[in-house]
Amino acid sequence: MSHHKHHDPTTAQNNADSVDWGLIKLSENRAFNGWHQRFSHRSQCNRSEMCFSVFLPPKVEDNHQVPVVYWLSGLTCTDENFMQKAGAFRIAADLGLAIVVPDTSPRGESVADDPSYDLGQGAGFYVNAIQQPWAEHYQMYDYVTQELPQIIEANFPVTSRRSIAGHSMGGHGALVIGLRNAHRYRSISALSPICNPMECHWGQKAFSTYLGPLKASWFEYDASELLKQHGTALPILIDQGEQDEFLNDQLRPNTLLDALPVENDRLTLTLHPFYDHSYYFVASFIEQHLRFHARFLL
């Protein structure tokens, strides 16, 4: 019988690090000989409690540090949807990748909200809000790019090699964050992303609310505009279902292709007949996405 030391990330890493990150472990599950763990903590940049989930592959139990794929989820999701529905653990365990999934917004009674599903809590759009009352808590861009990686790299057995991926609103977040921070990530992928939010209802509603009416501040959160202005230094993989109910109105992946010169080989966009917007689609292609990231992380 083999005995593995149970890995407790909060004590294993950087005991010399004097920062008290205030991590509280909410739950823990063994999965594919790795660990799925869920934490809450007080976020400095969002000024609220935040939750995130982590999958640590079995490799970490032999004192290996592993690279991280950050996954950003879509509208109405929390950090739990991907972990429960995507079926990503087996392949992440095999490849030796950690997966980190933040919540999609700050939450709590003191956090501004809106009754509609596409604004407020559960709909942070991965921007730094500058309009009140949102600016007080909705700093998701800084949270994903700065605060969360600091916490993960200080408290878990991971390297500083990162890739970023996401679905729907999270696909928008992954594209924007990866394109704007090419020095911090190795690769970008997205399933059913919102590709041109300045030109769709979801994006216009969120951007006008969080960022205000001046469109100059919108450009830096629109993947198609960023590609048009700067191209991409990172490889990008995108998959999109052709039966997706949001395809033509909200997602509009062709705007990414239109933004790039024809000869660009860094972006691969594939349309899949019969697939919709759901986690059935995500689960069908997550292995491909993790293998894609592993090529650049390992």
pLDDT tens digits along 148-168: 999 999 999 999 999 999 999
Residues with Cβ within 8 Å of residue 9, at least 6 apart in sequence: 37, 54, 56, 155, 156, 157
pLDDT value at 16 more than 50:
no
Strand partners, 249: none
Q: CA 70 to CA 68: how far, in whole Å? A: 6
Count each helix (H run) and each strand (E run) in the chain, helices first: 10, 9
CB 243 within 8 A of CB 218: no
Q: CA 237 to CA 253: how far, in whole Å? A: 12
Residue 55 lies in a domain: yes
Residue 16 lies in a domain: no
Give the chain's radius of gyration (CA, Å): 18
Burial class (CB in 10 A: 0-12, 13-18, 19+), 146: middle
Residue whose structure tokens are 């407020």: 120
Quick one: tokens of 123? 């709909």
What is the number of domains present in the chain?
A: 1
Strand partners, 270: 239
pLDDT value at 11 more than 50:
no
Residue 29 lies in a domain: yes
Residue whose structure tokens are 């878990």: 156
Residue 160 lies in a domain: yes
Task: Give me the pLDDT at residue 265, please.
Answer: 81
Q: CA 191 to CA 281: how far, in whole Å? A: 8
- C-alpha count within 13 angstroms, C-beta hemisphere, residue 1: 1
Which residues are part of the catalytic machinery?
Answer: 168, 244, 277
- Amino acid identity of residue 185, one-letter, is Y
Q: CA 296 to CA 99: how far, in whole Å? A: 15
Q: State the average pLDDT over residues 47-59.
A: 97
Residue 11 lies in a domain: no
Q: CA 289 to CA 297: how far, in whole Å? A: 12
Residue 249 lies in a domain: yes
Q: CA 188 to CA 199: how far, in whole Å? A: 22
Task: Give me the pLDDT at residue 18, please.
Answer: 57
The CATH number of the domain holding residue 68 is 3.40.50.1820
Residue 5 lies in a domain: no
pLDDT value at 141 more than 50:
yes
Type and span of the H or E element at 102: strand 98-102
Q: Tell me, rounded to whole angstroms, the distance of Cα 272 from its chain centroid.
A: 22
Residue 86 lies in a domain: yes
pLDDT digits (tens, 9 = 90+) for 189-230: 999 999 999 999 999 999 999 999 999 999 999 999 999 999
Quick one: tokens of 82? 């991907």
What is the span of the domain harbouring residue 35? 24-297
